Amino acid sequence: MSSDSFAARHIGPRRSDLPGMLRTIGVNSLDELIDKTVPEPIRLREQLRLPEAMTEFEYLDHIRKLGKKNKMFRSFIGQGYYGVASPSVIIRNVLENPSWYTSYTPYQAEISQGRLEALLNFQTMVIELTGMEIANASLLDESTASAEAMIMMFNARSRAAVKAGANKFFVDEDIFLQNMGVIETRSEPLEIQIVKGRFEEFQPDESFFGAIVQYPAASGHIRDYSEFTARAHSAGLLVGVAADLLSLALLTPPGEWGADVVVGSSQRFGLPMSFGGPHAGFFATRDELKRSMPGRIIGVSVDVNGKQALRMALQTREQHIKRERATSNICTAQALLATMSGMYAQYHGPEGLREIALRIHRSACTIKAALKKLGYIQLNDIYFDTIRVLPHEGISRDEIRKLALDAGINFYYTADGNISLTTDEVTSTEDINAVVEVFARAAGRKADEITTFAECNCIPEKFLRKSPFLTASTFTSYHSETEMMRYIKMLERKDFSLTHSMISLGSCTMKLNPATSMFAMSWPEFGNIHPFVPADQAEGYYQMMNELGDALKEITGFSAVTFQPNSGAAGEYTGLLIIREYHKTRGEGHRNIALIPSSAHGTNPASAVM
């Protein structure tokens, strides 16, 4: 066996195993096996034009060089992606632990009790922070969850609403652009009409079935949606909220002011930005809507001996059973990332989360006060972590951008000419001084040095959370590294993964996870890159994607590739949309039948009906 060959180390049987395996199935060689199983007309005639394979050592050197091409600027962009302080005990013992990252979908509950407990903790965290009654075990991301909320509301229409043809969905204009984009994409095939506007001016009627708002809003403003929600409910609409989960340690949870669905991302709970993902989306709703919600749900049951046990619950909603009648094509949970987020909440506990959220808020307040001294106008009067700065007369936004880039800082430059700054868990007084210095230089002023965060709270009393959360012992017991490490190990021992044996199940879950390919996931050169940074700050990422894209085009024979889908189900759906658009460009938009074998994966028919 070659000591430096990736394939020899990771793929297939050893050469010495082949003769016995071939004899068992009645053939004399691999060529004969191929002749008997792969039809001649579909065989590849020539060698693929791919670069020479790297050894694992060469690959590590290659990926390190790519990482160095990414520029480590300090990003205050926000918009759904934030700097985090990922606890080392979780990175070391979960993200970098093959017992966690090679385990399979927990269809067999008896060998999955550890993962199921971790995912139940994630669900509990989401339920209590959002103030809702039930949550799933994660979705792909916040944008997908927002679109799934819309579809669930659409499918949950009353008979009267269906008969009346209610097909309009209101989206407040102050929502993250990525959420808006996915909502629009997913609405069109279902003939859902998207109506955008200001929530204060929205007048619901019987043609609408639902609405969604961002909390806090994309602009950073904390808005009172209670009257809007009551108005929507009085007209028979359901109301969805895309919420910042960490902010809910301070803010009144949406469930307490009437939300029917709350979605978002748990990225702030210990998951690096990683140029946009992967992250764990969350989805929470009212109990009466549980049979319409997408995604997996972990439930509490009892075993044959009457002891408490965990299992996946309400699976008859899901595509692997319901197929084209499923609530969604989603069969994917971001289980590893949801596990990490739940453990982040356990490690910090309710008081720790409040402290982190308050520190984020106070760092924003500190920047606001410093910029006010320099003559800048701050447009958000009520905010959690985001301020919007209006450059005063004689100060160019382009000059501020240039000064910021020279200082290694990224801001978010809004379409209306303002500058948005969002603080996060890792914002320091050093960061704040660097930010203020950029604005001081643009104004030709000298800034005072800041040594501590302002002791202030810019959130009015009516928006502050009064209800307790995360009171169960699992969120109050593991606040030292040793306690957390032992808890993680205890769960690990209840599970089955590739560290124990091969897993002869499934077609879509990761099986081959070489340690070499996992290293870069926890490197800051990749983890600390915001998805909205200028292209020249992510050259390593772009080169990696371009190289992989070129290889996939050669392997598949296609002329283009997209990495936008972040699961097999999303990839199927994207492919179907591309086929649909192709027919529409040929004037054949009426072609709406998809032929799917009865043996196909359940996501196939579920995607087709969407």
pLDDT tens for residues 133-155?
A: 999 999 999 999 999 999 999 99
What distances in angstroms separate CA 92 from CA 1, 71, 103, 527, one per listed residue?
31, 25, 17, 15
Per-residue pLDDT tens over the stretch 97-125: 999 998 888 888 899 999 999 999 999 99
β-strand 238-243 against 261-265: which pairing, if any?
parallel
The answer to whether position 48 is within a domain reads: no
pLDDT band with cut points at 50, 70 and 90 for residue 332: low
Nearest to 372 by CA among 448, 431, 305: 448
Torsion of CA 558, 564, 570, 574, to 10 degrees: -50
434: its two tokens: 């660097």
Please report whether residue 17 resides in a domain.
no
Q: Report whether 246 contacts 126 (CB < 8 A).
A: no
> Would you say residue 506 has pLDDT above 70?
no
What pLDDT shows up at residue 514? 86
Task: Give the residue-averaged pLDDT of 247-274.
Answer: 98
**CA dihedral sign of residues 314, 134, 169, 182:** negative
Which of the 8 DSSP states describes residue 458? -
Dist. CA 387–CA 391, nearest whole Å: 13
Structural domain contains residue 404: no
Range of the structural domain that residue 140 is part of: 92-346
- CATH code where residue 155 lies: 3.40.640.10
The confidence score (pLDDT) of residue 206 equals 95
pLDDT on residue 441: 96
pLDDT attached to residue 313 = 86
Q: Percent of the chain beyond pLDDT 70?
A: 95
pLDDT band at 326 (very low <50, low <70, confident <90, very high): low
Which pairs with CB-CB distance under 8 Å and at least 24 residues apart come from 453-457? 453/359, 453/362, 453/363, 453/365, 453/366, 453/429, 454/362, 454/365, 454/366, 454/369, 455/362, 456/362, 456/365, 456/369, 457/358, 457/361, 457/362, 457/365
| Angstrom distances, CA of residue 555 to CA of 47, 49, 51, 559, 568 | 10, 9, 12, 11, 18
The per-residue pLDDT for range 360-386, each reduced to its tens digit, is 999 999 999 999 999 999 999 999 999
Instruction: Give the residues across from 194 on adjacent strands.
Output: 169
Q: How many domains in the chain?
A: 1
| CB-based contact 375:392 (threshold 8 Å) | yes
- ∠ CA 207-244-286 to the nearest 5 degrees? 50
**185-208 pLDDT, tens per residue?**
999 999 999 999 999 999 999 999
Residue 430: inside a domain = no
Q: pLDDT value at position 34?
A: 92
Tokens of 546: 């371009």
> Is 5 a domain residue?
no
Sheet of 193-197: strand order equals: 134-135, 281-285, 261-265, 238-243, 208-215, 168-172, 193-197
Q: Is residue 467 part of a domain?
A: no
- How is residue 94 annotated by DSSP? I
pLDDT above 70 (res 608): no
Query: Where is average pLDDT lowest: 247-256, 322-331, 583-592?
Result: 322-331
pLDDT over 60 at 588, yes or no: yes
Lowest-confidence range among 48-62, 207-221, 224-238?
48-62
In a domain, 567, yes or no: no
| Other residues' Cβ atoms within 10 Å of the Cβ of residue 439 | 25
Name the least confident of 13-22, 228-237, 538-547: 13-22
Residue at 504 is within a domain: no
Residue 357 has pLDDT above 60, yes or no: yes
pLDDT at 2: 60
Q: Can you tell me which residue has the tokens 């700065």?
A: 389
Percent of the chain clearing pLDDT 90 (strictly above): 77
Alpha-carbon gap, residue 544 to 247, rounded angstroms: 34
